[in-house]
Structure 1
Amino acid sequence: MDSTFESNGFELACHIGRPPGDVQRGPGVIMCHGFPIGQLDAERSGGTFPQLMDRAASTLGCVTMTFNFRGCGTSKGDFSLQAWVDDLRHAISHLMTVSEPDGVILLGTNTGGSIAVCVGADDPRVTALGLLSPRADFDDWAQHPRRLLEHAREIGAIRDRSFPPSVDEWAREFRRFRPVAAARKFAPRPMLVMHGDEDDSVPVSDARQLVNAHGDAELSLLTGAGHRLRHDPRAVAILLGWLDRMRSLQHHPSAATS
């Protein structure tokens, strides 16, 4: 079901997945897309995620959700790291409003995964994290903020030519949010990190940094896989199996040690 919700006054597009039968008790699931690479990518960000969330809803018997961050798809507003963090916080609240889950499991690819860590660290509603090809930091953006700003304008992630009001403040956000420190804070809640060993966009070392900071996270390295794990059937199978296990552990914690 396609719908919208508001984040700081901006209307964001979202998709809600529901199981064909009764909703089973347990956490809901939210999937976050990454930062777009090109204009077409910005227009279609997370374009295949609704199908994945519908599949998860049907397989797991829970309510799922995916949405477009500001500046992507048909969502209003312009990209900034703080804005995307706020968007995910409002997305969690929206899912809690349209259903009554026992918490939320956050999934995210690339930048979306890194933002999920930062949000989850400070939000007790988040029960687990599943990350695909996540970034360990935003330092490369912080080093060349004007280059990123121009790129964001070119691909349409920033549509208002007067945005941001302060480039310096916009750029400081790339240092403010630290996924590695957030992963440490998120522990001991469960975290899965998946990464392709042939990812040419985000090095495998980023995944290892996040896993090591958490201390007890699961790391799944996929041989021969590149950056877009969403399209790797092995990654999807691992993710759905992990989600099923996480939802089961929520109500049968003794299973974790059996």
Structure 2
Amino acid sequence: MDSTFVSNGLELACHIGRPPGDVQPGPGVILCHGFPIETLDAERSAGTFPQLMDRMASTLGCVTLTFNFRGCGNSEGDFSLQGWIDDLRAAISHLLTVSDPSGVILVGTNTGGSIAVCVGADDPRVAAVGLLSPRADFDDWAQHPRRFLEHAREIGAIHDRKFPASTDEWAREFRRFRPVASARRFAPRPMLVMHGDEDDSVPVSDARQLVNAHGDAELSLLEGAGHRLRHDPRAIAILLGWLDRMRSVQHHPSAAAG
């Protein structure tokens, strides 16, 4: 079901998946897309995610949600890292409003995975996180912020030529949020990290940094896989199996955090 919710006054497009039968006890699932890669790719961000979320809902027996971060797809607004953090927090609240899960499992691809662990570290509603090809930091963006700002405009993630009001403040957010430190704080709640050993966008060392910081995360390296793991059937099979296992625990996220 296609719908919307509001984050900081912006209307964000989302898709909610529901199982064909009764919803089974346990956490719901939210899937976060990554930062667009190609020119005008922002318009198509997460375009195939609704089908995956419907499959997850049917397979796992839970309510699922995917959405477009601000600046992407049919969502309003312009990209900022703080804005995307706020959007995910709002998405969690929205899922809890439209359903009654015992908590939320966050799944994120690429930048979406990095944001998922940053949000999850400080949100007791998050029971577990699954990260696909996550980046360990945003330092490459921070090193050349004006170049990255132009890139964000070129791919369509920033529409307003007057945005941001302060490039310096917009860029400071890239060092404010630290996925590795967040992974450390997220422990001992469960974390899965998947990475392709032939990823030419994010090195495997990023995945290892996150896993080592957490201390007890599951690491799955996929032989011959590239950056976009959501298109790899092996990755989806591993993810669905892990999600089923996480939901079967059926513990409240606050218990998992303790």
Tell me, yes or no, whether TM beats 0.5: yes
Counterpart-to-counterpart distance in 2, 1:123 and 1:235: 26
Counterpart-to-counterpart distance in 2, 1:39 and 1:63: 33
Q: Which amino acid aligns with 2:101?
A: P
- Give the corresponding residue for 2:62: 62
- Give the corresponding residue for 1:8: 8
C-alpha deviation, 1:251, in angstroms: 4.7
Does residue 113 of structure 1 match 2:107? Answer: no
- Measured against aligned partners, the alpha-carbon deviations of 1:108-157 in whole angstroms (never above 9, x if no partner) come to 00000000000000000000000000000000000010011001111110
Matches within 5 A, 1:9-158: 9-158=9-158
- Measured against aligned partners, the alpha-carbon deviations of 1:185-212 in whole angstroms (never above 9, x if no partner) come to 0000000000000000000000000000
C-alpha deviation, 1:39, in angstroms: 3.1
Q: Which amino acid aligns with 2:180?
A: V
C-alpha deviation, 1:40, in angstroms: 3.7
Counterpart-to-counterpart distance in 2, 1:49 and 1:40: 18
Q: Please, which runs of 5 or more residues in structure 2 have no aligned partner? A: 253-258
> Helix, strand or coil: the match of 2:129?
strand
Q: Which amino acid aligns with 1:240?
A: L
Q: Which amino acid aligns with 2:46?
A: G
Counterpart-to-counterpart distance in 1, 2:147 and 2:34: 18
Q: Is the contact made by 2:40 and 2:156 (CA closer than 8 Å) also made in structure 1? A: no
- Measured against aligned partners, the alpha-carbon deviations of 1:206-233 in whole angstroms (never above 9, x if no partner) come to 0000000000000000000000000000
Counterpart-to-counterpart distance in 1, 2:102 and 2:161: 42
Q: Which amino acid aligns with 2:172?
A: R
> Helix, strand or coil: the match of 2:42?
helix
> Aligned residue pairs: how many?
252
Counterpart-to-counterpart distance in 2, 1:250 and 1:115: 24
> Helix, strand or coil: the match of 1:193?
strand
Counterpart-to-counterpart distance in 1, 2:56 and 2:156: 30
TM-score (norm 1): 0.97
> Helix, strand or coil: the match of 1:189?
coil
- Give the corresponding residue for 1:219: 219
Counterpart-to-counterpart distance in 2, 1:223 and 1:156: 33
- Give the corresponding residue for 1:255: none
- Measured against aligned partners, the alpha-carbon deviations of 1:142-174 in whole angstroms (never above 9, x if no partner) come to 001001100111111000010000000000000
Counterpart-to-counterpart distance in 1, 2:148 and 2:97: 35
Matches within 5 A, 1:237-248: 237-248=237-248
Q: Is the contact made by 2:5 and 2:12 (CA closer than 8 Å) also made in structure 1? A: yes
Q: State the 4+ residue runs in structure 1 displaced beyond 3 angstroms.
A: none
- Give the corresponding residue for 1:197: 197
Counterpart-to-counterpart distance in 2, 1:26 and 1:39: 39
Q: Is the contact made by 2:28 and 2:102 (CA closer than 8 Å) also made in structure 1? A: yes
Q: Which amino acid aligns with 2:97?
A: T
Counterpart-to-counterpart distance in 2, 1:5 and 1:144: 33
TM-score (norm 2): 0.97
- Measured against aligned partners, the alpha-carbon deviations of 1:1-44 in whole angstroms (never above 9, x if no partner) come to 00000000000000000000000010000000000012342111
Counterpart-to-counterpart distance in 2, 1:13 and 1:116: 18
Counterpart-to-counterpart distance in 1, 2:236 and 2:92: 22
> Helix, strand or coil: the match of 2:250?
helix
> Helix, strand or coil: the match of 1:39?
coil
